[in-house]
Amino acid sequence: MNNATIDAPEPSTVTPEDEFPMTVREAAKFLGVSQQTVYLWVERKQIPHLRVMGRNIRFLKSELASFRASFKQEMENE
């Protein structure tokens, strides 16, 4: 028998807050930018986001953390 394991996050590292979608305001605060910048990135499809009920925009913290890390790296390389 093959006892292959699936790579999953440790239960202690995933909190309900991480799974709850963030608003534009919360995402802007998390990223350290203005809400207008977040809207611009959404419009340009530069940031991972979800559309809820048509126009409402939400973000997953795990995706924003990856985006923030890549954005930070890009800024340091300039």
Q: Is pLDDT at 8 greater than 80 in this prediction?
A: no
Nearest of 40, 46, 49 to residue 70 by alpha carbon:
46
Single pTM value for the model: 0.70
Nearest of 67, 62, 56, 60 to residue 20 by alpha carbon:
60
Domain 24-77 has CATH 1.10.1660.10: yes
Q: 10 or 23: which carries more pLDDT confidence?
A: 23
Two structure tokens written together for 39: 């809207």
Domains in the chain: boundaries: 24-77
Q: 70 or 35: which carries more pLDDT confidence?
A: 35
Single-letter residue type at 56 = N
Strand 56-58, strand 50-52: pairing = antiparallel
